[in-house]
Amino acid sequence: MTRVLINRGLGRALAGAAIFLSLSAAPALAALKTGAAAPDFTLKAAKGGQEMDFNLKTALKKGPVVLYFFPAAFTPGCTAEAHAFAEATDEFAKQGATIIGVTAGNIDRVAEFSKVECRDKFAVAADPGAKVAKQYDSIFAARPELSDRTSYVIGQNGKIAFVHSDLNPAEHVSTTMAAVKALKAKG
């Protein structure tokens, strides 16, 4: 039994490493432009490991939405990005913003990822077949079954207020936070 668990863990680690390596060579694509209407969607999601439905239109009633697409749960860049968004969640909430992470990769692990890496702070949604990612032009050209690493700030008017598309997760939180604060300042 122990050998099976070790092999399963090793298999997951190797699969995550393979996804990470394949993504590191793929360019981030252009995304929807600022001012474009944000496509509405409803996806199965989890927050703190608890399953839920996430609907964009409903979330926008509360304030702006930070929608970030990421390639696959439990890969190094996606884990780092989830940690950064988790640390900033309270500040986003003070600005009236809701965060939602969306992935088309290893969607069977979304609930676990929401608890472990997102630290119970925000919802993560599964995007089977990258259907929502395609609506947002946030897929990898080389791997269209995976979401690109693209972050959007969507204003309460349902329009894209800000876009940041970069495989490096380092700037996604700071740039979306600045955009949310600028939206709030506009009133």
- For the chain, the helix, strand and coil percentages under 3-state DSSP, each to the nearest 5: 45, 25, 30
Q: 77 vs 28, 51, 74, 137, CA distance in Å?
A: 14, 24, 8, 20
Q: Residues 23, 45, 59, 78: which is the catalytic one?
A: 78
Q: How far apart are CA 43 and CA 131, in angstroms?
A: 10
Q: Is 118 a catalytic residue?
A: no
Cβ-proximal residues to 123 (8 Å cutoff; 6+ apart), any chain: 45, 46, 47, 52, 54, 99, 100, 101, 114
Residue found by looking up tokens 């939405």 in the block: 65
Q: How far apart are CA 150 and CA 166, in angstroms?
A: 6
**Run of H or E residues at 104:** strand 98-105
Give catalytic residues, as residue numbers: 78
